[in-house]
Amino acid sequence: MTAPTTSTLTIGGDLTVGRIGFGAMQLTGKQVWGEYPDHDGGIALLRAVVDAGVTFIDTADVYGPHSNELLIRKALHPYPDNLVIATKGGFVRGGYDYSTLDAVGNPNYLRQSANMSARRLGVDSIDLYYLHSGQATDVPFEEQVATLAALKDEGLIRHIGLSNVTLEQFELAQTITPIAAATALYNAGIRRGVDLLRATEKTGAVFSPWHPMSIADGGDPERITAALEPIAQNHGATVQQIALAWHLHRAPNTLPIPGTTSLEHLRTNLAAAQITLTSEEISTITALVPED
Ligand SMILES: NC(=O)c1ccc[n+]([C@@H]2O[C@H](COP(=O)([O-])OP(=O)(O)OC[C@H]3O[C@@H](n4cnc5c(N)ncnc54)[C@H](OP(=O)(O)O)[C@@H]3O)[C@@H](O)[C@H]2O)c1
């Protein structure tokens, strides 16, 4: 049996969080646009997240836009001392249609975004602020990172993270300012973020896989699910729990952020931290998708 090597992680050397966080994005309207329709239910769920011991919540200004950060503030402010909230800036969205999502790196825009996220969340300093995308081409990537570094120097941001960047961008950013975390699409069925997982393992940054359980989203979901099912049966667990437990075993710096609107799923997702996979099970899941 191979237990996950750590039960907590440290972000940027001074923020300690539990290994399974919570992704708040689902608490918005359809297609991540507008308000979450069950306002009171969303508040109750966020409070249940914290009551269950979760110490890391992932959000972004573009979730809603804005309504997700505001819901978090309404549910949880004043925040418990041990709660770390990560938010992101650098995407604009022109309407309900996902195709209107656009990456923006203009320094003044990023500055405004970080200031407004802090205001919406009700904090003087944002624990972890991600550049949401490496795709903006209106200004050089280095300038975008330098903007975040300046915001950190000014105290508005405590730590800097990078979302969905390439390995080259991650390495370039490290030459400008310390990068405390990276987040990318990575799960049992899709390994798009593997370069960042490897790079962060070396630097000591946290790697936060998004869509950590969405094995049905792409690749070959039937095959992946069929491979996870016998492992789930061995542990009296669900396929989703095994998909989550695998992240914790995959590398010591992973911080999956499962999202749910269901109290029952919240409970079972967090219980995945108690599952100890065998080294054979870990290898079986890792080998499902080539990573080289
Ligand atoms: N950086 C980025 O670009 C980026 C992009 C996307 C997402 N994210 C972040 O990553 C977080 C996670 O992504 P996500 O919320 O889309 O995907 P996810 O956590 O992989 O999966 C969420 C979906 O799985 C269902 N689910 C959750 N727990 C379950 C369980 N135990 N059993 C069965 N179904 C379950 C949810 O439905 P129920 O509500 O019914 O449970 C929901 O449909 C987001 O909340 C967001 O914070 C970041």
Is residue 147 classed as helix, strand or coil in its secondary structure? helix
The best mutation among 265, 266, 270 to test binding of ligand 1, ranked by most ligand atoms within 8 Å of the C-beta, falls on: 265
Going by pLDDT thresholds of 50, 70 and 90, the confidence category of residue 222 is: confident
Is the confidence at residue 145, as pLDDT, over 70? yes
What distance in Å separates the CA atoms of residue 292 and residue 273, rounded to the nearest whole number?
27
Going by pLDDT thresholds of 50, 70 and 90, the confidence category of residue 141 is: very high
Q: What is the mean pLDDT of residues 222-242?
A: 95
**CA distances (Å), 133 to each of 72, 128, 161, 189, in order?**
22, 15, 10, 22
The best mutation among 26, 84, 186 to test binding of ligand 1, ranked by most ligand atoms within 8 Å of the C-beta, falls on: 26
Is residue 214 classed as helix, strand or coil in its secondary structure? coil
Give catalytic residue positions.
63
Averaged pLDDT score across all residues of the chain? 96
Question: What are the tokens at 150?
Answer: 């300046």
Atom number in ligand 1 closest to CA 262: 41
pLDDT computed for residue 78 by the predictor:
98
Beta carbons of 34 and 28 less than 8 angstroms apart: yes
C-alpha of residue 26 to centroid of ligand 1, in Å: 7
What predicted TM-score, i.e. pTM, was given to this entire model?
0.97
pLDDT computed for residue 207 by the predictor:
98
Atom number in ligand 1 closest to CA 133: 3
What distance in Å separates the CA atoms of residue 16 and residue 160, rounded to the nearest whole number?
15
Residue 87 CB less than 6 A away from ligand 1: no
C-alpha of residue 212 to centroid of ligand 1, in Å: 7
The string of pLDDT tens digits covering residues 159-193 is 999 999 999 999 999 999 999 999 999 999 999 99
C-alpha of residue 139 to centroid of ligand 1, in Å: 31
Going by pLDDT thresholds of 50, 70 and 90, the confidence category of residue 2 is: low
Residue 158 CB less than 6 A away from ligand 1: no
Is the confidence at residue 38, as pLDDT, over 60? yes
pLDDT computed for residue 34 by the predictor:
97
Q: What is the mean pLDDT of residues 252-271?
A: 97
Q: Whose Cα sits closest to atom 27 in ligand 1?
A: 260
Q: What is the mean pLDDT of residues 146-150?
A: 98
Beta carbons of 147 and 177 less than 8 angstroms apart: no
Beta carbons of 53 and 83 less than 8 angstroms apart: no
C-alpha of residue 179 to centroid of ligand 1, in Å: 25
What distance in Å separates the CA atoms of residue 135 and residue 146, rounded to the nearest whole number?
16
Residue 210 CB less than 6 A away from ligand 1: yes
Residue 113 CB less than 6 A away from ligand 1: no
CA atoms 197, 199, 202, 207: torsion sign = negative
Backbone angles phi, psi at 8, to 5 degrees: -135, 165
Q: Whose Cα sits closest to atom 20 in ligand 1?
A: 211
Cβ count within 10 A of residue 150: 15
Going by pLDDT thresholds of 50, 70 and 90, the confidence category of residue 104 is: very high
pLDDT computed for residue 3 by the predictor:
61
Residue 257 CB less than 6 A away from ligand 1: yes
Q: What percent of the chain has pLDDT over 70?
A: 97
